[in-house]
Amino acid sequence: MGTSVLSLRMDGELLERLRRHAAKRGMSVQDYVVRTLIRDDFDERFQAAVEETEKFYGVT
């Protein structure tokens, strides 16, 4: 799998909040944002899988 570049424009306040959150975890802002996106993507895919399983088994 290759890598790509994603450029974001954000205000200074948001960037500072991201820096603080990343620093608490000993991470760079880039790593923090990427891990957050990966986690959110997993959560969405997991929820979709749960919903499909419930449909299959007729759970409502």
Give the pLDDT of residue 23.
97
Give the pLDDT of residue 42.
85
Closest CA to 19 of 36, 5, 6, 33: 33
Give the pLDDT of residue 29.
95
The mean predicted confidence, pLDDT, of the chain is: 90
Residue, of 11 and 50, whose pLDDT is higher: 11
pLDDT (average), residues 4-23 = 94
CA torsion through residues 37, 39, 40, 45, sign: positive
In contact, 35 and 27? CB cutoff 8 Å: yes
The pTM (predicted TM-score) of the whole model is 0.68
Please determine, for residue 9, whether its predicted confidence score (pLDDT) is greater than 90: yes
